Amino acid sequence: MNQSVHKALKLLELFDEETKELTLKEIAERANMPKPTAYRLLTTLEAHNVVFKTKRNDHDSRYRLGLKLLELGSLVSTHMRLRETALPFMEQLAQDINEVVHLVIVNQHEATYIEKVDSTRALRLYTRIGKSLPLHVGSGPKMLLAFLPEAEQKAVLDQSNLTTIHSKQPIDRAVLKQELKHIQNQGYALSVNEQDADTTGVSYPIRDHNGTVIAALAVSGLTHHFKGERLVTIKAKTEQTAQHISRKLGFNHS
């Protein structure tokens, strides 16, 4: 365990509804650490807007929780609302098509799976909530990458380690850019054998009230289940489900 991080988190836990601000002396005493150590940690936290210092006079400085925590808390709240809104629809979709259904978001230039509903098939794909993958691999990640703002998409594409997952072969950026444009135009992403052998994934965008793509609704399973009329049905039901979730989040397509 990183002791500096542990100590910094310990300082943050000193604040609550009744204790909204503390002096350096109070913080050091309550955290049972030397004042210089507390001051050093607080200075770092202050630099990142996690705490801020109010100065009543030359001899009375106090610390409060900063706006960065409000920003992060709002982000967590948004993702919780997204999960809670999407889950009933995901469960119905999984029941209708009997394939694994995922909810995927962008997280620090990666794609993170924040919700999952399994199929009832004996042979299942191994995925888990919290798993992160590069944004250039798989239908869900690529869907998100395709709809990122231009500057953010460029930052991902400019990374030096764009390779396939298994063979570690370099990704042709020109081909990837064309694929992302194609995803934007057709409104969905399809991947075959990208994350796991003999698997196919289909993903559609979920939008918020502003029309911004905030998540991908991804369905995946063994490739032989994603053929012909069955693939047509899976795509139609997944698209319909993504639209229902988007409307529930306030998106008005008209």
Q: What is the mean pLDDT of the chain?
A: 88
1 pLDDT more than 60: no
Pair 17, 28: CB distance under 8 Å: no
Residue range 97-105: mean pLDDT, rounded: 94
Give the chain's domains with CATH numbers: 3-65 (1.10.10.10), 74-248 (3.30.450.40)
Q: pLDDT tens for residues 30-69? A: 999 999 999 999 999 999 888 988 876 666 789 999 888 7
Distances (CA, A) of 210 to 33, 84, 207: 47, 19, 7
Q: What is the C-alpha to C-alpha distance for residues 191 and 193, in angstroms, rounded to an integer?
A: 7
Q: What is the C-alpha to C-alpha distance for residues 241 and 236, in angstroms, rounded to an integer?
A: 9
Q: How many CB atoms lie within 10 A of CB 241?
A: 23
Higher-pLDDT residue of 210 and 160 is 210
**Enclosing H/E stretch for 4:** helix 3-12
- In 87-211, DSSP assigns E strands to 100-107, 110-117, 132-134, 189-192, 199-207
DSSP helix/strand/coil, 184: helix
Q: pLDDT tens for residues 188-226? A: 999 998 888 888 999 999 999 889 999 999 999 999 999
Q: What is the structure's pLDDT at 38?
A: 92
73 DSSP 8-state letter: H
Q: What is the C-alpha to C-alpha distance for residues 159 and 181, in angstroms, rounded to an integer?
A: 19
